[in-house]
Structure 1
């Protein structure tokens, strides 16, 4: 099943040789994501400032700004510092290339010629992480809207349309709307917690535990409202 345009993530491939870019596009084609080309480090940085990328595949040996310098510049910018970078290099690479790559913030390192299946697998890990992060950000934004009252629920809309209702009926509708809003907040917190539980690492687990505590506290408040 193909991915809709709104659900697709973007992958940036950077190499000064056109045939290498063509080969990378062919390998990544089955992932059904948007693949953007850059022929130099400078072009890559401009592309990353224009749009969001899930992962960057970056050739090490390029004229001018090489892969190490490009990676270092990517990590210096607040807008791009969290984008994972996979460095690519030839078989004649120096033995310290991997060390230098990780030192500038690369997430992974592959030597050409690489196994297409292995490359797709590594890229897919970062695509999945990017999808989860987007879901988490969307849930957090929806929760923020609920907490500050920016969201417009059906109950709120109906209450606005019933402007001429009696005061007692308005109070009842307000209480029902408050309980419904608390229920939706609990549901959003539960969804955020599940996304965090799927992530590895102590930080995600600790944050998920705190979200769980908030979930129980809001649920208790919802029950009292009812």
Structure 2
């Protein structure tokens, strides 16, 4: 497992073969994010319930619980259902494997031998998406707290919150996707409705 800053998102690599895990660590090491190993589907599920990950690299052909079953179980659990999964398999596998992977909910499917540059690029995209989603969630929470604060007779705080809300909505459109984005969009919509209600209430008080 490579060392990384504690605030960096984790990457879970799952393969029953030690040499494959070593190879993945060598390829992903330059990204300088926390790498966590799992040698089986069961071990991977336990790891995901203990800590958060930005992306999972999951080998398809494993004894016992294979990659497809492991991915399906990840997608069924509330705590892990939104974590992107990249399935990995060899060249001599069935042609329907990519279809099965995407049907389960995998975000991507790569065939070995995997180009190191391609793998790092794809993983980095999910790391960046995870970081932006965390930033947007934090911004949404900040907006909630501001809206729940003290009365704002002058309307200055309300205008400031409205501007932040607009920036959040714009960032959502540009940088997110999937179920996580849907939840954040719902959050922003709720905040926007609250802002409009506060504006209406303030205007009603001024008109009296």
What is the TM-score normalised by the length of structure 1? 0.75
Q: Which residue of 2 aligns with 1:69?
A: 69
Q: How many residues align?
A: 198
Q: Residues of 2 paired with 1:89 and 1:47: CA distance? A: 21
Cα distance change on mapping 1:194 and 1:211 into 2, 3 Å:
farther
Return the match for 2:172 from 193, 196, 200.
196
Deviations for 1:53-105, whole angstroms, at most 9, x for unmatched residues?
A: 11100001111111010001001101111111000011111111111111211
Q: Residues of 1 paired with 2:164 and 2:17: CA distance? A: 47
Question: Which structure 2 segments of 5+ residues have no match?
Answer: none
Aligned-pair CA distance for 1:111: 0.6
Cα distance change on mapping 1:181 and 1:98 into 2, 3 Å:
same
Q: Which residue of 1 aligns with 2:125?
A: 125
Q: Which residue of 1 aligns with 2:6?
A: 5
Q: Residues of 1 paired with 2:160 and 2:193: CA distance? A: 13
User: Please, what is the CA RMSD of the aligned residues?
Assistant: 3.2
Question: Does the residue aligned with 1:26 lie in a helix, a strand or coil?
Answer: helix
Is contact 1:14–1:37 with CA below 8 Å preserved after alignment? yes
Question: Does the residue aligned with 1:86 lie in a helix, a strand or coil?
Answer: strand
Q: Residues of 1 paired with 2:99 and 2:152: CA distance? A: 61
Aligned-pair CA distance for 1:191: 3.0
Cα distance change on mapping 1:182 and 1:88 into 2, 3 Å:
same
Q: Residues of 2 paired with 1:91 and 1:40: CA distance? A: 21
Is contact 1:183–1:219 with CA below 8 Å preserved after alignment? no
| Structure with greater contact order relative to length (CA < 8 Å, sep ≥ 6) | 2
Question: Does the residue aligned with 2:53 lie in a helix, a strand or coil?
Answer: coil
Q: Residues of 1 paired with 2:95 and 2:115: CA distance? A: 20
Q: Which residue of 2 aligns with 1:116?
A: 116
